[in-house]
Structure 1
């Protein structure tokens, strides 16, 4: 298990906070605003549906080409 602190937007444009990666099960664990429980997604599905962005108070997004989550990043 790896603890993370990264931000992504889902396919609807809603921001999620990725807090953990579990390589044993290949699951990404994240939190949604206004929802108290942890959510999870298989890595392959997460990579298709989510795009990396900056934290809520950050004005700039990551440089071009580094806006996706890759298994090698985790």
Structure 2
């Protein structure tokens, strides 16, 4: 989960860099596309995974991780 969080943060950083380039090049269509299609989703994903990481740190190893896995399986169903 920590690696997934790091990846989401990296993707978010790269999207912001792309947004900055589009702004400098005066491309409002690309900036709007990035904002509407990607940035909000990235923030939500980072928030969700951050919460998972915090929960996993609290539950520790063993039964807590198993219980967490069961919770994730129920969310998918």
TM-score (norm: length of structure 2)? 0.21
Greater CA radius of gyration, 1 or 2?
2
User: Which protein is richer in helix relative to its size?
Assistant: 2
Looking at both structures, which has the greater relative contact order when contacts are Cα pairs under 8 Å and sequence separation is at least 6? 2
Higher strand share: 1
